[in-house]
Amino acid sequence: MTEHPPVDGGQYGDYEVESFLGKGSIGKVYLARHRRIGRRVALKTVHLEHRFEDDTDESEFYKRLQREAELCGSMQHPNIVTLYDVGYDGDVVRYFATEYIDGESLLARLRRTRPLPMVEAMSIACDVLRGLAYAHAKGIIHRDIKPANILLTAEGQAKIADFGVARPLHSSLTSTRTLVGTPNYMSPEQVRTTPVSPRSDLFSAGVVMYEMLTGIKPFASPELSGILYNVVNLVPASVHEVNPIVPEQVSRVVQKLLAKTPEERYNAAADALADLESGNAPSDVNLTMASNAETVMIPHAYDALTPMPTLVDEMSLGESTDEKSHRGIRRDVPGLVFWIIVVTLVAGLTTSVIALRKGISKQKPVGVITQEQIRLDQAKKAELERARTLTRDGKFEDAIALYDDYLKRHPQSTVARTERDATQRLLDEQTPKTEVEVDTTASSRKKKSDKSSDDDKKSDEEKKEDEKKPGRWERFKRWFRGS
């Protein structure tokens, strides 16, 4: 049989591909539109990356695809993804055209928020149980209920998807010794590879509810063998013990869904739905932790993976390290104490922020130039440049007036004062010099005469001092006389 690789932007029958949505278990998934009626669909193409070991495996695979097409085509329910069309290449299924859900999967939702708000978790749980009740009434067992196969619309409605491993009741198409499903969400009978029933889907739904309400997987373990062992043997803590906001009635419903034997679970999904919607708790469920869970050996195919844990280690295998620490720090805090702590923290944080902002506003950074300073400097430079332009144009008086106006506003500007004096000298040089030269000549003569008279006076005084000064012989006689 041939495989057809998907073509991005190509066409499948009457469907034109618009965009790539993701990768599914059997191929790529595209958003496509029917070219005649315009309906948008999720187009799940068939393109396997592995090769079949033999013709039997290949035949089994395509029979399973055909069975999925037949089962999905027979169901029409608000909580089940609708199958619109199936494309064939001869007798081989090439693609599925299903209802396009403009939203996200429950898996993506749980990655953002764990646990979910109580109202949202209950709404999703009720939608899943409604879808299962309808499928079971049609004689169809899903066998792979998990968050990735539950799609959420933009309005919050849950729809069950991917019936790829579903099977009708009493079908013998799949071998009874084949392990089918996702380990963390399998029922004990699926792990043992014994015949399954609609109650197997109820167990998986209980695991999904437990994860939504507590944020942890009840049977988680680092190893596959540990997960399978926990599914068969471990009785997890009650939901309301892990998350105290969950009502005890809801916790009882989840506990009954997670019963190890199918007979201890609800008879049908409709019964569990009725208890959830009415708030009634099943009376035959004991919420206390089982001290001695029955030890059941898992199939021999898994015996060699890791040594079987003892009953003492059951709780440590049921949770990852992060989940154990999460539960270990959970304590019941009174509402009043909680709000006092919250208000105190908020008040302290607000006070710190206000004080920090005040400190920042008072401390102006050194060396930081503001936009206002930049504008002021540019205006001053422009004004000085105008004065210089007037000077170069020979309009000295206008330039001097501009410099004077500038110095009135900026008296400390040495540049403006120097340029103003230089402009004044240019103006003085431009004025007539005749009278000034006469005056200058007269004044210079006067200065010369005054200087010569001063020199004459000085020479007369020096002469008189020289005359008054005694000679050497006179000074010797005075010294000899002792005078």
Encoded tokens for 483: 């005078």
Encoded tokens for 67: 């069975």
d(CA 412, CA 403): 13
The total number of residues shown for the chain amounts to: 483
> In terms of C-beta density within 10 A (0-12 exposed, 13-18 middle, 19 or more buried), how is residue 236 classed?
buried
The answer to whether the Cα torsion of 454, 455, 460, 462 is positive or negative is positive
Encoded tokens for 145: 């209920």
CA–CA distance from 110 to each of 46, 57, 97, 139, 213 (Å)?
Answer: 28, 35, 27, 30, 10
d(CA 447, CA 283): 133
Encoded tokens for 278: 């009415």
Q: 3-state class of 212 per DSSP?
A: helix
Q: Which of 85, 127, 144, 275 is catalytic?
A: 144
Phi, psi for residue 5 in degrees, rounded to 5? -65, 140
Tell me, yes or no, if 144 is annotated catalytic.
yes
H-run or E-run covering 331: none
Encoded tokens for 390: 């007037």
Per DSSP bridges, beta strands 104-105 and 150-152 are: antiparallel
Q: What is the DSSP letter of 80?
A: B
CA–CA distance from 313 to each of 57, 184, 290, 299, 307 (Å)?
Answer: 39, 18, 14, 20, 12
Residues designated as active site = 144
